[in-house]
């Protein structure tokens, strides 16, 4: 296998065309875990390692492997709005956990936030 950081570098290149030297600047930021039950009653557990990577203002990501349709440059208000139940373009459910973790770490929301 490969280490979490090696996977970050690999995924940055595949998903967004981020060069290795830039991807290696990603900072470990923690992890989120979750469990879910599928329609057959099987329980699955997952652990997502979170990294923060500040990109240069002039960097333009490019979808390389076809898994990502497009990228957006959002401020924190737009990121927070993306997790609302009535948001027009739902995000993969496990991504909500990472977004909430990020908003908490940035101080944008608190555990007391609705």
Q: Model confidence over 89-107: pLDDT tens digits? A: 778 888 899 999 999 999 9
What's the pTM? 0.85
The helix/strand/coil state of 72 is coil
Q: CB-based contacts of 18: which residues, under 8 Å, 6+ apart?
A: 12, 53, 55, 59, 61
pLDDT of residue 75: 92
- Structure tokens of 39? 């329609």
Residues comprising the chain, all counted: 114
Q: CB-based contacts of 60: which residues, under 8 Å, 6+ apart?
A: none
* C-alpha pair distances (Å), 90 with each of 25, 45, 85, 86: 29, 22, 8, 9
> What is d(CA 76, CA 80) in angstroms, rounded to the nearest whole number?
6
pLDDT greater than 90 at residue 85? no
């Amino acid at each position: 296998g490969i280490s979490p950081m090696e996977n970050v570098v690999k995924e940055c290149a595949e998903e967004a065309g981020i060069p290795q030297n830039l991807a290696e600047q990603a900072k470990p930021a923690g992890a989120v875990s979750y469990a879910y039950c599928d329609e057959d009653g099987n329980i699955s557990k997952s652990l997502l390692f979170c990294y923060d990577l500040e990109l240069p203002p002039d960097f333009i990501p490019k979808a390389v492997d076809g898994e990502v349709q497009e990228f957006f440059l959002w401020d924190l208000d737009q990121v927070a709005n993306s997790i609302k139940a009535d948001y027009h373009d739902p995000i993969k459910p496990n991504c909500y956990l990472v977004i909430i973790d990020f908003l908490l770490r940035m101080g944008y929301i608190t555990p007391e936030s609705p």
